[in-house]
Structure 1
Amino acid sequence: MNWRLALTVVLLVAAVVSGWSVWRQRADDTAMAPDQGRSDYVLHDFELTALNKEGIESFTLRAPLLEQHPQDRTITLDEPLFLLPERGGGYWQARSRTGVVTADHDEVRLRDDVRVTSPEGNPRPVTMNTEQLNLYPETDIARSDVLVTVEQPGSTIQGRGLEVDLASKRYTFKSQVKQRYVPTRR
């Protein structure tokens, strides 16, 4: 999964949309002072599918609002939902209340009620809950420095700080790790 490529596609689409909008409105422009609080571009209720180099879906992003800010060039997202395809079929879902893409597009910060769930129909469904998760697309790494809870049938693991290698799907807790086993009934 190449997050850098996907974020580049998001920015390219946004640049095309904003350029088209400027071209349509140039006849109506007047000599007005620029509004420093206004976004470079805004997308409402959108779905964006990013493809990798081979033209295969890398991820799909759905959100009610995306805005790029002219002062710091960051992109903010309201209630983003990332759908990440799995090789065996189905989609991992990563959602949060807010999200920020840094100006250099090398980090995605999901904040407030972050929830990641495995594809539906998975024989061992996994749910991860935290208040913040940082994704680093270029290195396929996800990190959190706060409390994270990972639940699977029969076990719950909780710890402070988490690093996940998205390519290998291996995760490491950093401290205060607690694990609870709950036998499943058959």
Structure 2
Amino acid sequence: MSWRTTLGLVLLLAAIVSGWSAWKNRDIPEPDRVVADRSDYVMRDFEMIALNSEGVEAVAVRAPEMARNPVDQTFSITTPLFLLPEEEGRSWELRAKTGWLAAKGEELRLRGDVHGTPPKGSAQTAEFRTEQLNVFPNRDLATSDDLVTLTQPGSRLSGRGFEMNLKTKAYELKSQVKSIYEPRSAR
């Protein structure tokens, strides 16, 4: 046997041993370990209604897609429409580009082109727009630290920082408040 054949066999044996060693020491996730960057389930084109502790509808959501995070059991929602019910079967409509819902439904976070519309036929006519809104359905509270613009027939009000009681319809702008009033004669 020549020295070239011996060297070839030694190199082949070394390649087989290193391949076997790499195969045995590869990173295999444990079967019971949860991978955090993957949803444990996804719903598409759905409507979901959440009830409060008294069994009354607290919030409804419609969206093209919702995914649940298995680690903290929160929900990420694509282009959601949240319906916050009031008396007489009417609902506030809250739309956004993305939404986040806490595991027990106690907090909603709307992000990107948030638009709130009061119930149709309601005495409240002011619609609002902002880039982010946090809603706490159990407390009937909606808040934002961003610029918020409220529009109603004949006027537009804007300011930074916003708090609204969804039950009493009372709202407060925190700072940098500006108002534009357009009388009926000018319309």
Specify the TM-score bucket, using the shorter chain as the normaliser.
Answer: 0.7 to 0.9
Residues 159-174 of structure 1 mapped to structure 2, 5 A cutoff? 159-174=159-174
Residues 36-75 of structure 1 mapped to structure 2, 5 A cutoff? 36=35, 37-52=37-52, 55-75=55-75
CA contact (8 A) 2:80 2:95 kept: yes
Aligned counterpart, 2:143: 143
| Alpha-carbon distance between aligned partners in 2 of 1:72 and 1:50, rounded to the nearest angstrom | 18
The secondary structure found in structure 2 opposite 1:175 is strand
| Alpha-carbon distance between aligned partners in 2 of 1:137 and 1:91, rounded to the nearest angstrom | 12
Cα deviations by residue, 1:110-135 (Å, 9 ceiling, x for unpaired):
00010001223446632100000001
| Alpha-carbon distance between aligned partners in 1 of 2:100 and 2:78, rounded to the nearest angstrom | 9
Aligned counterpart, 2:156: 156
Percent of aligned positions that are identical: 47
1:133 lines up with 2:137 in the alignment? no
Say if 1:105 and 1:91 are closer, same or farther in 2 by CA, change over 3 A. Answer: closer
Gaps of 5+ in 1: 1-30
Deviation, structure 1 residue 40: 1.7
Moved more, 139-148 or 63-72: 63-72
The one-letter code sitting in structure 1 at the alignment partner of 2:84 is: L
The one-letter code sitting in structure 2 at the alignment partner of 1:144 is: S
Larger Rg: 2
Aligned counterpart, 2:112: 112
The secondary structure found in structure 2 opposite 1:138 is helix
* Equivalenced residues, count: 156
Aligned counterpart, 2:101: 101
The secondary structure found in structure 1 opposite 2:167 is coil
Cα deviations by residue, 1:38-62 (Å, 9 ceiling, x for unpaired):
2122111101123445654433210
Q: What's the RMSD between the two structures over aligned residues? A: 2.6
* TM-score, normalisation: structure 2: 0.72
Say if 1:162 and 1:112 are closer, same or farther in 2 by CA, change over 3 A. Answer: same
CA contact (8 A) 2:58 2:137 kept: no
The one-letter code sitting in structure 2 at the alignment partner of 1:44 is: R
Moved more, 149-158 or 118-127: 118-127
Gaps of 5+ in 2: 1-29
CA contact (8 A) 1:124 1:153 kept: no
